Chain A
Amino acid sequence: MTSQPFRLPTGGRIDRSRRLAFTFNGQRYEGHPGDSLASALLANGVHLVGRSFKYHRPRGIMSAGIEETNALVRVGSGARIDPAQRATQIELYAGLAAESINCWPSLAFDLGSTIDRLGRFLPAGFYYKTFLWPGGRWMFYERFIRKAAGLGEAPREKDPDRYEKRFDHCDVLVVGGGPAGLAAAYAAGRAGARVVLADDQMEFGGQLLWREVRIDGGPALSWVTRAISEMEGMPDVRLLPHATVCGYYDHNFLTILERVTDHLSPAAAGGRMPRQRLWKLRAREVVLATGAIERPLVFDNNDLPGIMLAGAVQCYLLRYGARPGARAVIFTNNDSAYETAAALFDAKVPLAAIVDTRAEPVAAAAKLRQRGLNVLFGHAVVAAKGRKHLSAVTVAPLDEGGGGLAGPTREIACDLLCVSGGWSPAVHLFSQSGGRLEFDPVLGAFLPGAARQAMRSAGAAAGAFDLAACLAGGAAAGATAAQRCGFGDGQVRRAPGAAPTAAAPPRPLWEVPSPRSARRNRKFVDLQNDVTAADIALAAREGYTSVELAKRYTTAGMGLDQGKTGNINALAILASETAVAIPAVGTTTFRPPYVPMTFGALAGRDVDDLYEPVRKTPLTDWHAAAGAAFEPVGRWRRPMYYPRPGEDMAKAVERECRAVRDGVALCDASTLGKIDIQGPDAVKLLDRVYTNAWGSLAIGACRYGLMLREDGMVFDDGVTARLAEHHYLMTTTTGHADAVLSWLEEWRQCEWADLRVYLTAVTTHWAAIMLTGPKARAVLARVGTDIDIDRAAFRHMAVRQGTVAGLPARIFRVSFTGELTFEINVPASCALALWRILMIAGGDGEITPIGTEALHVLRAEKGYIAVGHDTDGTVTPADLGMGWIVSNAKADFIGKRSQSLADLARSDRRQFVGLLTDNPQEVLPEGAQIIEAPTGSSYGRPPVPMIGHVTSSYLSPTLDRSIALALIAGGHRRMGEVVAAALPGRAARAKIVSPRFYDPDGARLND
Chain B
Amino acid sequence: MLLIHCPWCGPRNESEFACGGEGHIQRPDPAMAHDEVWVDYLFYRRNPKALHLERWVHAQGCRRWFNVARNTLTHEIRAVYRMGEKPPEGVR
A residues contacting B by CB (< 8 A) are 249-253, 280, 282, 434, 452, 710-711, 742, 745-746, 749-751, 753, 891-892, 896-898, 901-902
If A753-B83, A897-B38 touch, whether A251 touches B65 (CB-CB below 8 Å) is: no
A253 & B3 in contact (Cβ 8 Å cutoff): yes
CB distance from B8 to the nearest CB of A (A): 12
Chain A residues with CB under 8 A of B27: 751
Q: Is the CB of A897 within 8 A of B1?
A: no
Contact B35 A251 (CB under 8 A): no
Once the chains bind, are B31 and A251 in contact (CB under 8 Å)?
no
**C-alpha spacing A746/B59, complex, angstroms:** 11
Could you tell me the distance in whole angstroms from the C-beta of A434 to the nearest C-beta in chain B? 7
* A-B interface, 6 closest residue pairs, ranked by CB to CB distance from nearest: A897-B30, A253-B1, A251-B3, A749-B65, A250-B75, A249-B1
Residue B78 CB within 8 A of the other chain: no
B31, closest chain A residue (CB):
A891
- CA A557 – CA B60 in complex, angstroms? 40
Interface hits, B24-59 → A, CB 8 Å:
27, 30-31, 33, 35, 38-39, 42-43, 55, 57, 59
Report A-chain residues with C-beta under 8 Å of the C-beta of B42. Answer: 710-711, 898
Minimum CB distance partner of B23 in chain A: A750
A710 nearest CB neighbor, chain B only: B42
Q: Are B2 and A251 in contact (CB under 8 A)?
A: yes
B90 on the interface (CB 8 Å rule)? Answer: no
Q: Which residue on A lies nearest to B35, using beta carbons?
A: A901
Q: Is the CB of A898 within 8 A of B38?
A: yes
Question: Can you pick out 7 interface pairs between chain A and chain B where the beta carbons lie within 8 Å of each other?
Answer: A251-B75, A253-B13, A282-B1, A750-B20, A891-B31, A901-B35, A901-B39
Chain B residue nearest to A253 (CB atoms) is: B1
Name the residue on A nearest B11 (C-beta): A282
Residues A745 and B63 in contact in the complex (CB < 8 Å), given A751-B27, A897-B33: yes
Q: In the complex, what distance in Å separates the CA atom of A897 from the CA atom of B37?
A: 11
Residues of chain A within 8 A (CB-CB) of B33 are: 897
Q: Can you list, as one digit per residue, whether each of B76-87 has a CB less than 8 Å from chain A (1) or not (0)? A: 000000011000
A956 CA to B35 CA, complexed, in Å: 44
For B30, list chain A residues within 8 Å (CB). Answer: 891-892, 896-897
Q: Chain B CB within 10 Å — which of A746, A749, A750, A892 has the most? A: A750
Complex Cα spacing A253 to B55, Å: 22
Contact check, B83 vs A434: say whether CB atoms are below 8 A apart: no
Provide the residues of chain A in CB contact with B2, threshold 8 Å. Answer: 250-251
Chain B: minimal CB distance from A484 (Å): 16
Q: Please tell me if the beta carbons of B64 and A749 are within 8 angstroms of each other in the complex.
A: yes
Contact, CB under 8 Å: A452 / B74: yes
Q: Which residues of B contact A251 (CB under 8 A)?
A: 1-3, 75
A749 to B65, CA, bound (A): 7
Contacts of A750 in B (CB 8 A): 20, 55, 65, 83
Say yes or no: B1 contacts A250, CB within 8 Å.
yes
CB-nearest residue of chain A to B37? A897
Question: CB-CB < 8 A to B75: which residues of A?
Answer: 250-251, 434
- A250-B75, A742-B57, A750-B83 are known contacts; what are 15 more A-B pairs with Cβ within 8 Å? A250-B14, A251-B1, A251-B2, A251-B75, A253-B3, A253-B13, A711-B43, A745-B63, A746-B20, A746-B57, A749-B64, A750-B55, A751-B27, A753-B83, A898-B42
Give, as a whole number of angstroms, the nearest-CB distance from A39 to chain B: 38
Contacts of A745 in B (CB 8 A): 57, 63, 65
A901 to B37, CA, bound (A): 11
Q: Which A residues lie within 8 Å of B35 (CB)?
A: 901-902
Instruction: List B contacts of A282 (CB < 8 A).
Output: 1, 3, 13
- The distance in angstroms between the C-alpha atoms of A751 and B2, with both chains bound, is 26
Residues of B within 8 A of A753 (CB): 83-84
> How distant is A903 from chain B, measured CB to nearest CB, in Å?
10
Of the candidates A253, A434, A902, which one forms a contact with B74 in the assembled complex, judged by CB atoms under 8 Å apart? A434
User: What's the Cα separation between A396 and B56 when bound, in Å?
Assistant: 66
Q: Hey, which chain A residues are within 8 Å of B20, CB to CB?
A: 746, 750
CB contacts (< 8 Å) of A742 on chain B: these are 57, 59
Q: Which residues of B contact A892 (CB under 8 A)?
A: 30-31
In Å, the complex CA distance between A673 and B53 comes to 33
In the bound complex, how far is the Cα of B3 from the Cα of A42, in angstroms?
Answer: 47
Report the nearest B residue to A254, measured CB to CB. B1
Give the residue among B1, B27, B39, B59 with the most A Cβ atoms within 10 A: B1
- Cβ-closest chain B residue relative to A745: B63
Q: Which residues of B lie under 8 Å from residue A751 when comparing CB positions?
A: 27
Contact among A280, A749, A901 for B38, CB-based, below 8 A: A901
What residue in chain A is nearest B77 (Cβ atoms)?
A: A251
Shortest B38–chain A CB gap in Å is 6
Residues of chain A within 8 A (CB-CB) of B39 are: 901
CA distance A750 to B38 in the complex (A): 19
User: In the docked arrangement, what's the CA distance between A452 and B71, Å?
Assistant: 12
Residues of B within 8 A of A901 (CB): 35, 38-39
- The chain A residue with its CB closest to the CB of B29 is A892
For B33, give the chain A residue with the smallest CB separation.
Answer: A897
Closest to A893 in B: B30
Residues of chain A within 8 A of B38, CB atoms compared = 897-898, 901
A896→B42 CA distance, assembly (Å): 12
Complex CA distance for A250 and B1, rounded to whole angstroms: 5
Q: How distant is the Cα of A749 from the Cα of B64 in the complex, in angstroms?
A: 8
The smallest beta-carbon distance between B19 and chain A, in angstroms, is: 12
Q: Which residues of B contact A452 (CB under 8 A)?
A: 74
| B3 closest partner in A (C-beta) | A251
A901 to B35, CA, bound (A): 7
Q: How far is the CA of A708 from the CA of B18 in the complex (A)?
A: 22
Chain B residues whose CB sits within 8 angstroms of the CB of A746 once the complex forms: 20, 57, 65
Query: In the bound complex, what is the Cα–Cα distance between A253 and B12 (angstroms)?
Result: 12
**CA of A280 to CA of B14 in the docked complex: distance in angstroms?**
13
CB distance from B33 to the nearest CB of A (A): 7
Complex Cα distance, B63 from A745, in Å, reads 8
Q: How far is the CB of A255 from chain B (nearest CB, A)?
A: 9
Q: Which residue of B lies closest to A709 (CB)?
A: B42
Q: Whose C-beta in chain A lies nearest to the C-beta of B75?
A: A250
> In the complex, how many angstroms separate the beta carbon of B17 from the nearest chain A beta carbon?
12
A749 x B3 contact (CB < 8 A): no
